[in-house]
């Protein structure tokens, strides 16, 4: 597959809308100094692109409304009991993550001694309708429990206005794992990448087929795993709706959104699951090469302009470990088709030779053991380094 991809027409100006903040990066006049985003004049009329961080893109899918909201209650898999909880019923162990939305903590349910991860989403609104919408989406995801590649949710509570999401505790996330693995000179084998891909695509497909929802925030930090080799998807639009990844971006952030999500043409085009397929492709390039596929930028405007105007990343044999096959490269580059109409949906990806190769292997005890051992080895190195600080 060649390195060149058809791009899109360059716009006369880029309009960024971050909530109430509007910033325009327009083509400078002849009296103004040229900026790094200056575009050569074209003889045709070009549409204005709107990059909107306020989550106003019309959703393609609407989650079903659940019958019951698990507020202030916990329900664990395999346990017929239901536990009423407040913040006092959870014992703090340690903070295990931090993001724009808030923090993630390892906590223990005092009554059952059950360990869990608790995501504390900072209060962004006191609007009861917003709180109910968040819980409706949470409950929708709780209905996804039959899918083994989706993180298990136990319940939620509100504490001083903040929303606490109680969920299954995993050992690490893909972004931490791949970075440490490359630092140690242990890049992922294709078999491991195949296992991660099958688990992620199956989870995304389940969300679409069974619950009629999109994920909307596929990236390495939202794919988690444990020492047993399990790989699971987290954060399917729950915190993402409250804290939009464009609206909260700053220099140094990595956009994973597809070009069509960043660009809203005058006809308010609607995006679908293929935008998540693009995000998957960016994620696979990153873990296969050890680095994010786009260059470093000086501003968020340069970040978004490169994704929109520049060619799509292309994964080639020279960029990956020797054991990676042409079939895998083809799979990734399909995910990164710049033209959304040429980009496959999940069921097409699941018929690809690369996916088929690892689909059956992904559930085998040997695969889970080997990947689990790899995860354990990397985590042990991370913990040892932290202890030596």
Give me the active site residues, please.
217
Alpha-carbon distance 319 to 328, whole Å? 13
Alpha-carbon distance 344 to 352, whole Å? 10
Alpha-carbon distance 55 to 244, whole Å? 7
Count CB atoms within 10 A of the CB of residue 250. 9
Contacts 24+ apart (CB under 8 A), 91-97: 97/173
Burial class (CB in 10 A: 0-12, 13-18, 19+), 123: middle
Structure tokens at 193: 């990448």
Alpha-carbon distance 271 to 252, whole Å? 26
C-beta separation of 201 from 280 below 8 A: yes
């Amino acid at each position: 597959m060649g390195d060149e991809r058809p791009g899109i027409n360059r716009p006369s100006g880029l309009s960024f809308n971050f909530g109430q903040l509007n910033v325009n990066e327009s083509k400078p006049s002849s009296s103004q100094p040229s900026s790094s985003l200056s575009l050569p004049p074209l003889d045709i009329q070009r549409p204005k692109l709107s990059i909107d961080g306020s989550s106003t893109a019309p959703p393609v899918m609407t989650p079903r409304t659940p019958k019951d909201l698990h507020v202030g209650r916990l329900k664990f898999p395999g346990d017929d009991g239901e536990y009423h909880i407040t913040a006092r019923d959870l014992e703090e162990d340690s903070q295990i993550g931090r993001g724009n939305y808030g923090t993630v903590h390892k906590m223990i349910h005092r009554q059952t001694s059950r360990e869990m991860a608790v995501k504390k989403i900072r209060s962004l609104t006191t609007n009861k309708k917003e709180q109910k919408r968040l819980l409706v989406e949470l409950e929708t995801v709780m209905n996804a429990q039959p899918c083994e590649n989706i993180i298990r949710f136990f319940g939620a509570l509100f504490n001083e206005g903040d929303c606490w999401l109680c969920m299954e505790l995993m050992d690490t996330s893909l972004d931490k794992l791949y970075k440490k693995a490359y630092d140690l000179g242990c890049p992922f084998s294709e078999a491991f990448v195949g296992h991660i891909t099958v688990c992620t695509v199956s989870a995304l497909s389940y969300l679409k087929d069974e619950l009629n929802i999109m994920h909307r925030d596929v990236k390495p930090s939202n794919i988690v795993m444990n020492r047993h080799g399990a790989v699971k998807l987290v954060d399917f639009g729950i915190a993402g709706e409250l804290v939009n990844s464009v609206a909260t971006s700053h220099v140094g952030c990595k956009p994973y959104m597809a070009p069509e999500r960043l660009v809203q043409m005058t006809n308010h085009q609607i995006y679908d699951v293929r935008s998540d397929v693009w995000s998957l492709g960016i994620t696979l390039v990153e873990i296969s090469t050890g680095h994010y596929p786009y260059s470093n930028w000086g501003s968020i405007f340069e970040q978004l302009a490169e994704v929109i105007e520049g060619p799509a990343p292309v994964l080639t044999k020279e960029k990956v470990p020797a054991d990676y096959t042409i079939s895998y490269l083809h799979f990734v580059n399909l995910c990164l088709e710049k033209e959304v109409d040429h980009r496959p949906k999940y069921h097409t990806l699941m018929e690809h030779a690369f996916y088929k190769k690892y689909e059956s292997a992904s559930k085998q005890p040997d695969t889970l053991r080997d990947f689990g051992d790899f995860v354990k080895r990397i985590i042990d190195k991370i913990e040892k380094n932290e202890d030596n600080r």
